[in-house]
Amino acid sequence: MPELPDLEAYRSYFNLRIVGVPIEEATVLIPLVVRAPKEGFVAALRGNAFGPIGRRGKFLLFPLERGDYTLAIHSMLTGRFQYCPPEQKRRAKTCFVLALGDGHELRYFDDRLMGKVYLVSGGDFSGVPRYLEMGPEPLSEELTEEVFRAQLRRFRGQIKSVLLNETCVAGIGNAYADEILFAAGLHPYRKRTELSPEDEGRLYRAIRSVLSEAVAMVAERMETDGLPVEEYRDFLKVHRRGGQPCPNCGAPITEITAGRRITNFCRYCQR
């Protein structure tokens, strides 16, 4: 699933390429993922152009220059983009295609058709489930350490589950939750109520450092290698590295699967 660093890289990539470029045609191929009437979706996009691309949580936001519309896309597990010449073969399960005035097509494909594409009018996101309930952005100036502590203390579950709850902070997914907790030296199944003020401070700093470094690395890779079919995750230290040596102590990294979620951590560095 694309998480905050991946989506920030997408945002930068598209801002360099599609802002202000006319949308000559819009074609909906699989209406299931487009949460708007097909005719209205096409009419809003055809002949329009995108303004600067934004992000909120795990949504990419594509504002349109005319009509006060925003395309809000949550790609869920398998939603991905193509920005390519029209003659390039379309991926299976391509949901919509935008023919752009620069000779490229912007495509969205989704192997499991789990993603959701909303056409938001007038800045009213109330029709987008859970959008207005999201907590602060992890890398925003508004999320000071004091604000983070207050947000964190609203919850009582296991600390990894708290990080994944977007009403606490927005945009952290399974992979980067593992990386953040490893950097902070916190066991993922530890109760939030057991964290000391020192633990909370380490967690706050780990969120900022892990995500900031990942944003830069993923954006650089995307500019060099193009839009990925799978996320760039080869630089992660513990996630999906079960059985491999911990980069800190050398002990085997633990992998636990529960509720279809894989969790990786070091039992010695994250007691």
d(Cα 186, Cα 171) in Å, to the nearest integer? 20
The yes-or-no answer on residue 2 being catalytic is yes
The yes-or-no answer on residue 116 being catalytic is no
Considering the candidates 58, 80, 116, 241, report the single residue annotated as catalytic.
Answer: 58
- Which among 19, 4, 27, 6 is positioned nearest to 230, based on CA atoms? 6
Considering the candidates 66, 112, 261, 267, report the single residue annotated as catalytic.
Answer: 261
Considering the candidates 3, 8, 200, 231, report the single residue annotated as catalytic.
Answer: 3
The yes-or-no answer on residue 221 being catalytic is no
d(Cα 232, Cα 221) in Å, to the nearest integer? 8
Considering the candidates 2, 5, 138, 188, report the single residue annotated as catalytic.
Answer: 2
Q: How many CB atoms lie within 10 A of CB 50?
A: 25
Q: Are 177 and 188 in contact (CB under 8 A)?
A: yes
d(Cα 254, Cα 223) in Å, to the nearest integer? 33
The yes-or-no answer on residue 3 being catalytic is yes
Catalytic residues, which ones? 2-3, 58, 261
